[in-house]
Each structure stands twice: as structure tokens, then as C-alpha cells.
Structure 1
Amino acid sequence: MTLRPHRAPSGGSLPGEPFAWTRGVGKLFAHGVWNSRVLGAENVPRTGPVLFAANHASIMDGPLLFGVTPRPAHFLVKSEMFTGSPLNRFVGWALLQAGQIPIDRTRGDRDALQSVLAVLAAGGAAGVFPEGTRGRGDAASVRSGIAWIALQSGAPVVPVACLGAHLPGEPRRSVPPVRRRLTFCFGEPFAVVKEPGVPGRVALAAAVEQVRVKLSGHVLDSLQRTGIQLPDDDAADELGLGEMASDDVPGGTR
């Protein structure tokens, strides 16, 4: 798999290939700063395209998940992380070195989603937080971006439960205390397909519901397995995946 390095993808192009040192930093945060454990890594296909669908309850979910995925992955990250203050610009530079993909959360950012498709078409791994917001992390709502990607790419979807970083009673934008036990549970992959003859709008709605059910069920099972509790606050806009038109679905019509 050949990826262009160190630049924000444009026009749906491939992102830069994650440098090894960026994975090292992610692992340092996950296992050095915090005490992360990974369950179900054997569920992640070792080769070929794979799309991670993760719940989102903490500001640290993205960086830590990048460090613990069994394979290097390209995640969609809100475009505000790449611009603004000097600190933001430095973080944005580091994210690009890690192969992450900026997404404009104010609209349906077709270029960003096409970059994810390019990664999957090249046999790589990509990740999305399909709730589109950072809230309880129970995956009760799933926006259509990831369903559109799954339908377009045909890549297997692996649900991921990110647990422990944000607990009941804690401010929703807080960073988890150092050395807290965090858990990342990778579920069994599933396929999202469009049945022949089904209109695009119907296929997309069915795919959204399938992803929601699979991810929320996996989060619930993971909570029961680990005994960890979710926070109880309202959602905060974090990613804002745009709603995709139904005629973007392969073979679909309005």
C-alpha cells in the first residue's frame, strides 16, 4: 500500500502514511501515560480493508485508539484540530504525520469521505466515530457517513468500544487521570451491503440502523463484560459527520 506522506489529502486523495514514531507516541499515551488494555484484537482482519466504528465518550478516544489498533489506521478528525492557535497547528501537523484525515464538520465533507474510501480501496484500515458527537458513548445515534462509506467500499466493519476514559460525574471535556485503566474492545467484523433493487435512500437508512444496532450492542456487551459505566451527560459536537444524499449509495436513487 503506497500513501503520500505529510499532507492533508485533497480531492479525495490518499492521506499520508502514518510514520512509525506517531504510532509510538500513541502507544506511549495508551500504555505509559494511561493503563490501557485491548480486548478482541484477534477480531481485526490482519490484511485487506477494514473500517473501525467506535463509540465516542472522551476527548482522548481518538489519540488512544490510534495507539492501540492492531493495525495503523487513518481516522477522521475535525478540521478545527488542524488550524488556529500555534498549539492547534502543531497538533494538526502531528495528526498529518499520523495519517489522519481532516473533516469539515459543518457540511457533508465529500472529499474527506472519499479519502477514507481511497484508504480502503488500497487495502488499508480507517476509522470513524459514527455517532458524530462526543457524549455518553452508548452509540444510540449513528449518522450516515460511516454507513455510506461501508456501502461504497464493501469493507468489513469492526465495532470498537472505548471505555473508562470518561466516567459518571466527570466533566465531559476532562482528560482522564493519569494511569487510569482504560479498555478498548474490538468486536467481530460485519458486512454492510445493499440488496439489489433497493432504492438508495432505503439502503442508506437500513445501513445506518445496522451500524447503530451492531455498535450499540457491542458497547453494551463490552460494558457488561468489563463492569465499566458510561457517563450520563449530554452529547457535545465533536465530529459532525455530514448526512450523505441517498443517491450517493451505489446503484441507489432517491
Structure 2
Amino acid sequence: MSGRAPSRWGPRWSRHVGRFLAHVLWRTEVRGASSLPTSGPVIVVCNHVGLIDGPVLHGAIPRGSHFLIRSGMMTGALGVFLRAAQQIAVEGSGREALARGLAVLRRGDVVGVFPEGTRGGGTADAVHGGAAWLALQSGAPVVPTAIVGTRHTGESVNVWPRPGRRILVSFGTPIVLTPPAELRGGRAKQSWAAAQLAEALRTQVTRTLETTDLELPLDDPRRDGRAEQDVS
């Protein structure tokens, strides 16, 4: 599986748009940004709550980043922006997107992933294995990250919050997913890595919630049968 890395130019300008949204339009507190390596490949994994998680996190990461984004978002004016920003569209099985993400990591840059796969409650109860695969293939450290406040209970997963909304982004300690020597075969290693990543993300979300009065939404469109609202 091979792919071409998207241009670095997109994140260089688009992260400033994210910073404007995060810190001017909304009031975003960023914790732990200094824990992200300042150079070399990094995978940022984050829980997923609402529509604005991506741009807020893109602005909070202190380096340019390429996010894996479902192709449903790559339409209309927003699609034009995302493609110009050199974000990575996930289509079909996602193999091509993973290949492009791996090329970004091998180039020494940052890839962002929402491993829950869709917007919802943000508890990271169920995650997909793409980020774990990227970590195993690249050896890049993974930074578990929690985002809180982008959607409130009762709001649509597509909500665009009013100006001034309080948001918290909290970066955790980087981890390197090195499978135990006794594990044999790619599937066993992938399963182990996915479990480790999921646990690290859930732990980061839990610890973050313990230190803020902000809360995750109590409703989850996936759980409540409204997942069709989600287009990310």
C-alpha cells in the first residue's frame, strides 16, 4: 500500500484559520501543547463530539497537521477549503487515506485522527484501528487528546456554536505502541495496539473531565439512532 503525502503548504496557512476560530470566535483553553514533540512524526488522536472538533484541534496543535476526514465532508464550499488545506479524504475502505497518512508520518509531520469514526458522545467507548495501524507502521508517538465543549447535550452533531463558547483541548503524554515480543503475526499486534490506543484515549478523556466544569454531551446520536446526522 503506497500513497503520496499531501503538501505541507495547506496546513501552514489553514492552521491560522483554526487558531482564529479556536481563540477569537470561541474561547478555547489548550493544555499540554508542550508535550507534543516539536519535530518528527506524530499522531494526534482525539475523541469526537461535534462539527467543529477538527478546525479547533487543527488550530490548537502547535504544528501543521493533516487530518483524516470522511469524504462526505469534502463537498461544497467546505470541501474546497478542506482540499486546499491538504486534509486527507477517507473514501471506501480507507486504504488510500491510510497510505497518504503514513507518507505524512514518514516525512516527519503530524497526522490527526478521530478514531471513533463519527461524532457522538465523545467517550471513546469504541474506536477504529486506523490510528493504531499508522502507529505500528511508522513508529510515530501517539498523543491522546481530549476535546470538551464543542457540543452540548441536545445540540445537533452539526452545530456551529455561537461566538464565545468555552472549549477545552487537553493533550496527553505521548505513547509509543511497541507490541510485546511474544506477540506473533500482524493481526495480534494490530489488536494489541488498537486496545492500547483506545485505553489511552479513554484515560485522557476521563482525566480531562475530572479537571474542568465542562462536560461531554449526555446524548449520543450513534446510541440514540440519530447517527445519520453525522457527515464527518
Q: Distance in 1 between matches of 2:207 and 2:38?
A: 24
Q: Is the aligned partner of 1:210 residue 2:196?
A: yes
Against the structure 1 CA distance between its residues 19 and 52, is the aligned structure 2 distance closer, same or farther, given a 3 Å change threshold? closer
Distance in structure 2 (CA, Å) of the matches to 1:156 and 1:125: 10
Residue among 221, 229, 235 paired with 2:215: 229
| Offset, 1:21 | 3.1
- TM-score using structure 1 length: 0.83
Q: How far apart, CA to CA, are the structure 2 residues paired with 1:192 and 1:132?
A: 20
Could you give the per-residue CA deviations for residues 25-54 of structure 1, whole angstroms, max 9, x where no partner exists? 111111111111100011100011000001
CA separation in 2, counterparts of 1:91 and 1:172?
A: 16
Q: Alpha-carbon deviations, 1:222-248, whole Å to 9, x = none?
A: 0111122111222336588xxxxxxxx
Match of 2:148 in 1: 163
CA distance in structure 2 between the aligned counterparts of 1:126 and 1:44, rounded to whole angstroms = 12
Alpha-carbon distance in structure 2 between the residues aligned to 1:108 and 1:19: 25
SS in 2 for 1:211: helix
Tell me the equivalent position of 1:251.
none
1:48-197 mapped onto 2 (5 Å cutoff): 48-83=40-75, 88=76, 90-104=77-91, 107-196=92-181, 197=183
- Residue segments in structure 1 that go unaligned for 5+ positions in a row: 1-10, 241-254
Deviates more, 1:193-202 or 1:63-72: 193-202
Q: Which moved more, 1:166-175 or 1:134-143?
A: 166-175
| Residues 106-158 of structure 1: per-residue CA shift (max 9 Å, x gap) | x3221110100000001101110001111100111111111111111110000
- CA 1:139–1:19 in 2, change beyond 3 Å: closer, same or farther? closer
Q: How far off is 1:199 after superposition? A: 2.0
1:158-182 per-position Cα deviation (integer Å, ceiling 9, x unaligned):
0111111112233333222211111
- Residue of structure 1 in register with 2:27 after alignment: 35
Q: Name stretches of at least 5 consecutive residues in structure 2 with no aligned partner.
A: none
Q: Secondary structure at the match of 1:226?
A: coil
2:38 aligned residue (42, 46, 68): 46
- Change beyond 3 A, Cα 1:48–1:19: closer
Q: Distance in 2 between matches of 1:91 and 1:49?
A: 27
* AA matched with 1:72: G
**What amino acid maps onto 1:205 in structure 2?**
S
What one-letter code is carried by the residue in structure 1 that aligns with 2:51? I
Structure 2 equivalent of residue 12 of structure 1:
3
Matched to 1:155, the amino acid is: A
| TM-score, length basis structure 2 | 0.90
Contact 1:57 1:136 in 2 (8 A): yes
Tell me, in whole angstroms, the C-alpha distance in 2 between the residues paired with 1:16 and 1:239. Answer: 25
Find the aligned partners of 2:97 and 2:135 in 1 and give their Cα distance: 14
Distance in 2 (CA, whole Å) between partners of 1:35 and 1:25 is 14
Q: Within 2, Cα distance between the matches of 1:173 and 1:92? A: 15
Displacement of 1:194:
2.9
Q: Percent identity?
A: 41
Separation (CA, whole Å) in 2 of partners of 1:239 and 1:46: 32
The alignment's C-alpha RMSD in Å is 1.8
Structure 1: distance between partners of 2:192 and 2:40: 25
1:198-218 superposed Cα distances (whole Å, 9 cap, x missing partner): 222221111111111000010
Q: Aligned equivalents of 1:205 and 1:59: distance in 2?
A: 29
